[in-house]
Amino acid sequence: MTQYEDAKAGTITAQMRRVAQREHVAPEFIRGEVAAGRLVLPATRLHLAGAGGSSVTLDPCGIGRAITTKVNANIGASPVSSCKEQELVKLALAVRYGADTVMDLSTGGDLDETRRALLAAATVPIGTVPIYSVVVGRDIADVTPQDMLAAIAAQAAQGVDFMTLHAGIRRKHLGLVTGRKMGIVSRGGSLLAKWMVHHDCENPLYEMFDEISAILREHDVTYSLGDGLRPGCLADASDAAQFAELETLGKLVQRARGSGVQVMVEGPGHVPYDQIEMNMKREQALCDGAPFYVLGPVVADVFPGYDHITAAIGATAAAFHGASFLCYVTPSEHLALPTAEEVQAGCIVTKIAAHAADVARGLPGARDWDDRMSEARAAFDWKRQFELAFDGDTARAIRSRDLAGQEDYCSMCGREWCAVRISKEVTRSLGG
Amino acid sequence: MTQYEDAKAGTITAQMRRVAQREHVAPEFIRGEVAAGRLVLPATRLHLAGAGGSSVTLDPCGIGRAITTKVNANIGASPVSSCKEQELVKLALAVRYGADTVMDLSTGGDLDETRRALLAAATVPIGTVPIYSVVVGRDIADVTPQDMLAAIAAQAAQGVDFMTLHAGIRRKHLGLVTGRKMGIVSRGGSLLAKWMVHHDCENPLYEMFDEISAILREHDVTYSLGDGLRPGCLADASDAAQFAELETLGKLVQRARGSGVQVMVEGPGHVPYDQIEMNMKREQALCDGAPFYVLGPVVADVFPGYDHITAAIGATAAAFHGASFLCYVTPSEHLALPTAEEVQAGCIVTKIAAHAADVARGLPGARDWDDRMSEARAAFDWKRQFELAFDGDTARAIRSRDLAGQEDYCSMCGREWCAVRISKEVTRSLGG
């Protein structure tokens, strides 16, 4: 039984209990959300037991609107850069700096070995894009549908917790892309498009959807339905191609659930700030509340080197208006494979987006953390501020440049000019 | 005559023409917006001619909803850190990285000399908080209303283009602050509150408002009506104290205009993301469309070291919903006086917010820049991408880590995996 099937049958699993504990809600509440398809719990039986016999086991994590917004970090070597060891460093950094899940998007090095190593080391759910592993060293046109199915089955058997499968990009959608400025910017989407055009056939992942569902159900792998036609620039956002695919994804959500498989849906990409709310609402309606996993969205195209920030701005709006799951973007997006330092930067800004949105949508208890920080700030308790800060080391280092002690002020204003200190005098005078 | 008086009289000044040219709109359109009070043009006659006889003169800049969103950088030495020379470096960096105006908030060193040097070097409007200069070396309680007036007059005569004057914080508002977590976090606000409590009198800047207006009118200094009671944490946002002051500011806007003086209004601060739209609309309504100059707002309190980003998220929402002018926040906010590097970081993220909002609110031509970037990206024209990028040096450095040439891919995916390249093959196959 998958978590979804258990939930539908009224069973509260150990994993649902753990998620309830982490989110400070009742286990029955989590079960209800999973049963409704509004919350997924990506956790294969293999990873829960320790993938490949590892002593490190998965700590279950829930993704859905009813609970805190989650952050994913994409890592993985490319043919040009990095290796397994470097990617393991990135995994550790990502988790330390707020990633709730990690995707291994390796396209270089020994893919199988890197995936195995990451699964064995990860306490967070691991996601992959299985199509990548079938095109290493050969052309996508030479890959058979059975090759694709075999790759999905092999990775499911390794313990991959969720898989991006671009099953919604269909042959008939491709004509909608020709007028775009950026065309197809999804790697998986572009590979499948090339396959469809070469063979003049429908997308094999669409054709084999029920067979894939059967494999995913067996291991309780969660679908992350890929958005192969997501916009790659502001000009292409919210176009006919994007929404045609989204409509297909809505139908596949129902088919996945019909097969007992957990399912979430991927979304854009590059979207002007004013179109984000509409995009989130459309997905929630078309996909019947399936968790929306957005890739940014970045809200401007002219800031390469800072796209973790253009993405964090869009991600806050997305999480406020309907997304449950935010894929980070790093400073090297559009330019290079991220370094470990950039992975860290990407995680932190995306965590900011997730938390700001959780406060804004009034999630119970979300603001308590901020309130404790404000109290520490008003009390000039620097030690406590650094303990509460998401990245206390960085905050301490900045303050310590000028003042290393527990002074009741900082170097921004100095003691005599500190508004908080003067404000306390005023309040005392007023008898407050 | 001030720009406002000229505009009301139907005169298009040279400064209005220059702003029209910079914004790609008709001069008459700018005149109309200035006359309506919806656009200010902070430009003292002294700075336009070269402050203190300097050969560097002010290039006029407009601030209002009808044109592009503007960015301010706060610089200035504190008693703990920095000096005139370092602040001149920050001025140059701020302008290079997108600041449209700069405020000298010095509270340390030789305030008069630093202000003089910045005015002589700046092509952008310079703002100050005159009350600071009267409390150096003495207690605010010992300062007379005439001292305050003298400081305002002296700085106006130096060529300061806009002044933050906390005239809206009144004696009767102070009781509303006692229940707050953070109290008063505005330096100027806290100083005036202390003065009011000590003397048990009304705010002298409120009492002397018409005299101050006469001084500002003489030099065409623009009012930036300070928000002395802005919230200093999420918990204090949108409270009775904040909105009581805003109501007073709305009345002062009318009095300033009645005296022929240009006026804008300052706003929060720390505001949960969901309250930003309401805050912007309230200011626009209460202050009759006077340009809203927001300080952030930061949307989370637990990320010290990253408050330039929490602020950029809030600033994007603010500029989308009603603000015209964004005060940057740097990574050292709440911790220390910013370094030159942090000034640069603060400017860049705030520029992202301003541009993303300009695109989102459909400002004519705002997205053209992004479209040109997308075209360069699709053409793998790296040279052009770095030319178009807001910070091309940083973008080039990231890409050059792995690949230094004009390859038609980057190290994120490598050549064989590049979706944009594969997408082009697909489009060609489809005859597109």
Contacts of A168 (CB under 8 A, 6+ apart): A206, A225, A226, A227, A228, A245, A246, A248, A249, A252
- For chain A, the residue count is 432
Q: What's the one-letter identity of residue B281?
A: K
**C-beta separation of B328 from B308 below 8 A:** yes
Q: How far is A393 from chain B (nearest CA, A)?
A: 9
CB atoms B394 and A302 under 8 Å: no
Q: Is the model's pLDDT at A301 over the cut of 80?
A: yes
Supply the pLDDT for residue B201. Answer: 97
Predicted confidence band of residue A415 (pLDDT cuts 50, 70, 90): confident
Using alpha carbons, select from A207, A208, A209, A219 the residue that is nearest to residue A258: A209
Predicted confidence at residue A409, as pLDDT, reads 82
Residues of A in contact with B401 (CB under 8 A): 336, 339
What pLDDT, in 10s, does the model give residues A250-275? 999 999 999 999 999 999 999 999 99
Contact A417 B107 (CB under 8 A): yes
B308, B331 Cβ separation under 8 angstroms: yes
For residue B269, cis peptide bond before it (omega within 30 degrees of 0)? yes
Angle at B95 (CA atoms; ends B128, B335), nearest 5 degrees:
60
Q: Which of B123, B132, B186 is nearest to B155 (CA)?
A: B132
Token pair recorded at residue A170: 């269909």
Half-sphere exposure of A242 (CA within 13 A, CB side): 26
Q: Name all domains of chain A by residue range, CATH numbers in brackets.
A: 42-361 (3.20.20.540), 368-429 (no CATH)
DSSP A207-227: HTHHHHHHHHHHHTPEEEE--
User: Looking at residue B331, what DSSP letter applies?
Assistant: T
pLDDT tens digits, one per residue of B181-233: 999 999 999 999 999 999 999 999 999 999 999 999 999 999 999 999 999 99
Q: What is the mean pLDDT of chain A?
A: 96
Instruction: Count CB-CB contacts under 10 A for residue A260.
Output: 18
What is the pLDDT at residue B405? Answer: 79
Q: For chain B, which ranges sit under pLDDT 70? A: 432
Residue B209: both structure tokens together: 């408002």
Region of B145 on the Ramachandran plot (φ > 0 left; ψ -120 to 50 alpha; else beta): alpha
Q: Which of residues 223-282 of B touch A (CB under 8 A)?
A: 232-236, 272-275
Q: What is the pLDDT of residue B6?
A: 98
**A133, A194 Cβ separation under 8 angstroms:** no
Q: Does B422 touch chain A (CB under 8 A)?
A: yes
* Calpha distance A374→B183 (Å, rounded): 11
CB contact under 8 A, A374 and B174: no
Q: How far apart are CA A117 and CA B184, in angstroms?
A: 53
Q: Tell me which chain B residues have a C-beta less than 8 angstroms from the C-beta of A141.
A: none
Both tokens of A84, joined, read: 């397994």
**B377 closest CB neighbour out of A179, A182, A416:** A182
Q: Give residues 377 to 406 of B whose Cβ lies within 8 Å of A.
A: 377-378, 385, 388-391, 394-395, 397-399, 401-403
The pLDDT of residue B432 is 59
- Distant-in-sequence, close-in-space partners of A130: CB < 8 Å, separation ≥ 6: A148, A151, A152, A155, A160, A163, A165
Per-residue pLDDT band for A411 (boundaries 50, 70, 90) equals confident
Q: Is A365 on the interface with B (CB under 8 A)?
A: no
Report pLDDT for A432. Answer: 59
Residues 181-210 of B with CB under 8 A from A: 181-187, 189-191, 193-194, 197-198
CA distance to partner chain B, nearest, from residue A24 (Å): 20
The ipTM of this complex is 0.97
User: What phi, psi does B365 have (nearest 5°)?
Assistant: 85, -10
Contact residues, chain B, for A370 at CB < 8 Å: 233-235, 300-302
Residues of B in contact with A300 (CB under 8 A): 352, 355-356, 359, 370
Cβ-Cβ contacts under 8 Å between A and B: the total is 382
Set of chain A residues whose Cβ sits within 8 Å of the Cβ of B373: 233, 301-302
Which residues of chain B are within 8 Å of residue A390 when distances are taken between CB atoms?
A: 302-303, 306
Contact B188, B228 (CB under 8 A): yes
pLDDT at A137: 87
Q: Which amino acid is at B92?
A: A
Which helix H or strand E contains B188, and what residues bound it? helix B187-199
Res B424: pLDDT: 92
In this prediction, residue B137 carries a pLDDT of: 87
